[in-house]
Amino acid sequence: MKTALVFIEVKDNQIKKSSLECLTALAGSGWTLHTCGFKETHSCVDELKRWGVQKHFTTDNSDLDKFNPETHLQFVDKALQESGAQLFLASSNSHGRDIFPRLAVRHDAAYMSDVTEIKIEDNVSIARPLYAGKCTARVVFTDDSKKIILLRPNQVMVINPNGSGACEVISLSPQEGAGKNKTISIQDGESEKLDLTEANIIVSGGRGLKEAKNFKLLEDLAAPLNATVGASRAVVDLGWVPHSQQVGQTGKTVAPTLYIAAGISGAIQHLAGMSGSKNIVAINKDDKAPIFQKATYGIVGDLFEVIPVLTEKLQSLK
């Protein structure tokens, strides 16, 4: 039987939704399921049993809690060797894109990031956008050689598993401090909100907001929706918000259930990062703005009038 290994990430003692999406992609595939994750995953073993995970590779080394590409690489390398998996699945985020291409080189494995569709049957097949979303590549792996696949968050609807078997927990000890990199410190970003790539609802603003201080309007709208605030590159370049909030070709690629674009024209480079959103609401005073061609719902109007009304309505529903 074929074996798949899933990299598990945890936040607040819970398996992250993006990791549950990877587990969902494997549900019902008939493949043997292994997982791996750092020390923080110890608290999630019962949950992994419900997913039918047979082996979980982890570590007691809390050095790995700090990001270090070399020690993290060593850990996933060991996990892959011990598991003997043909397929390694992880979430397509900045951590994954740092670690897994290096792992692919070590294992002479096929590597695909930013995957938006995956089918795991006897063969594995995937789809991923190319050229800023202008076309989609569909790839079928026809042999059993190793594959490392990073799945874009919010592409798979998480199921509720009901497995119950045993899960063997295996502790690995990657060498401490090996290599040339040493992490001195990690500084958290300012926002407590979910990262844009994992957010279910995003409220994004563009140059139509006129001034940096008007982003407060979007934060007020985001609060009752529990949304994360994003931005176009134009306002990032103006220094109104940090680059971590930029959506688009040279920013983050997002696929939330709801994307609200306020005062954003819908340039091709912006659309490249958000057109995979399930529902797009555009607020723009120019009825010819290209964003309306992608929008599920469009509001032609002045955002300074529309947003306060929306915010008030949403607050009253809370």
Tokens representing 312?
A: 């008030």
Residues 191-210, one symbol each (x = binds ligand FAD by CB under 6 A, - = not), give: ---------------xxx--
| 234 touches ligand FAD by CB under 6 A | yes
| 265 touches ligand FAD by CB under 6 A | yes
Partnered with residue 299 across adjacent β-strands are 283
Q: C-beta of 252: minimal distance to ligand FAD in Å? A: 8
Q: C-beta of 145: minimal distance to ligand FAD in Å? A: 34
Residues 287-306, one symbol each (x = binds ligand FAD by CB under 6 A, - = not), give: --x------------xxx--
Tokens representing 20?
A: 């549950």
Region near ligand FAD per CB under 6 A, out of 13-21, 172-180, 194-202, 269-277: 269-277
Q: Where are the beta strands (DSSP E) in the chain?
A: 3-7, 10-11, 14-15, 32-36, 55-58, 87-91, 110-115, 117-120, 124-130, 135-141, 147-151, 168-171, 201-205, 228-231, 258-262, 279-284, 297-300
Q: C-beta of 24: minimal distance to ligand FAD in Å? A: 29
Region near ligand FAD per CB under 6 A, out of 96-104, 143-151, 222-230, 260-268: 260-268
3-state secondary structure of 87: strand
Q: C-beta of 104: minimal distance to ligand FAD in Å? A: 26
Select from 83, 197, 228, 232 the one that contacts ligand FAD (CB under 6 A): 232
How far is residue 32's CA from residue 16's CA, in Å, rounded to a whole number?
Answer: 21
Q: How many residues line the site for ligand FAD (CB under 6 A)?
A: 28
How far is residue 151's CA from residue 120's CA, in Å, rounded to a whole number?
Answer: 13
| 250 touches ligand FAD by CB under 6 A | yes
| 269 touches ligand FAD by CB under 6 A | yes
Q: C-beta of 267: minimal distance to ligand FAD in Å? A: 4
| 284 touches ligand FAD by CB under 6 A | yes
Q: C-beta of 293: minimal distance to ligand FAD in Å? A: 12
Residue (of 174, 152, 180) closest to 73 by Cα position: 174
Q: Which residues contact 222 (CB under 8 A, 6 or more apart)?
A: 193, 201, 203, 228, 229
Select from 2, 50, 95, 285 the one that contacts ligand FAD (CB under 6 A): 285
Residue (of 110, 99, 53) closest to 76 by Cα position: 99
| 267 touches ligand FAD by CB under 6 A | yes
3-state secondary structure of 218: helix
| 263 touches ligand FAD by CB under 6 A | yes
| 244 touches ligand FAD by CB under 6 A | no
DSSP state of 252: B
Partnered with residue 87 across adjacent β-strands are 4, 147
Classify burial at 63, counting beta carbons within 10 Å of its beta carbon; exposed 0-12, middle 13-18, buried 19 or more. Answer: middle
| 238 touches ligand FAD by CB under 6 A | no
Q: C-beta of 19: minimal distance to ligand FAD in Å? A: 26
From residue 287, alpha-carbon distances to 260, 295, 306 in Å are 16, 12, 15
Region near ligand FAD per CB under 6 A, out of 13-21, 103-111, 149-157, 228-236: 228-236
How far is residue 159's CA from residue 145's CA, in Å, rounded to a whole number?
Answer: 29
Region near ligand FAD per CB under 6 A, out of 22-30, 110-118, 153-161, 261-269: 261-269
| Sites of contact with ligand FAD (CB under 6 A) | 206-208, 232-235, 246-251, 263-265, 267, 269-270, 273, 283-286, 289, 302-304
